[in-house]
Amino acid sequence: MKKFFTLITMLLFTVMVNAQIDNPVIWSYSAKKVADKTYELHITATIGGNWHLYAQDAGEGPEPTTISFTANPLISLEGNVKEVGKMEKSYDKNFGSVLKYYANKVDFVQTVKVKSSVSTVVKGNVNFMVCNDRKCLPPRDVPFSIKLGGK
- Under CATH, what is the fold of the domain 21-148? Immunoglobulin-like (2.60.40)
Q: What predicted TM-score, i.e. pTM, was given to this entire model?
A: 0.83
> Across residues 85-107, what is the average pLDDT?
94
Return the HEC string of 23-68.
Answer: CCEEEEEEEEEEECCEEEEEEEEEECCCCEEECCCCCCCCCCCEEE
For residue 77, pLDDT over 90 is answered with yes
> pLDDT class for 23, splitting at 50, 70, 90?
confident
> pLDDT class for 17, splitting at 50, 70, 90?
very low
Of 9-18, 22-31, 92-101, the range with the lowest mean pLDDT is: 9-18
Name the phi and psi angles at 150, rounded to 5: -90, -135
- pLDDT tens digit string along 55-64? 999 999 899 9
Domains of the chain, by residue range, sit at: 21-148
Name the phi and psi angles at 18, rounded to 5: -60, -40
As a whole number of angstroms, the distance between CA 61 and CA 45 comes to 21
Q: Which of 105, 12, 97, 92 is nearest to 51 (CA)?
A: 105
> Across residues 141-151, what is the average pLDDT?
87
Burial 50-71 (b: 16+ CB within 10 A, else e): ebbbbbeebbebbebbebebee
For residue 11, pLDDT over 80 is answered with no
| Cα→Cα distances 24→53, 54, 64, 82, 134, Å | 10, 13, 16, 22, 14
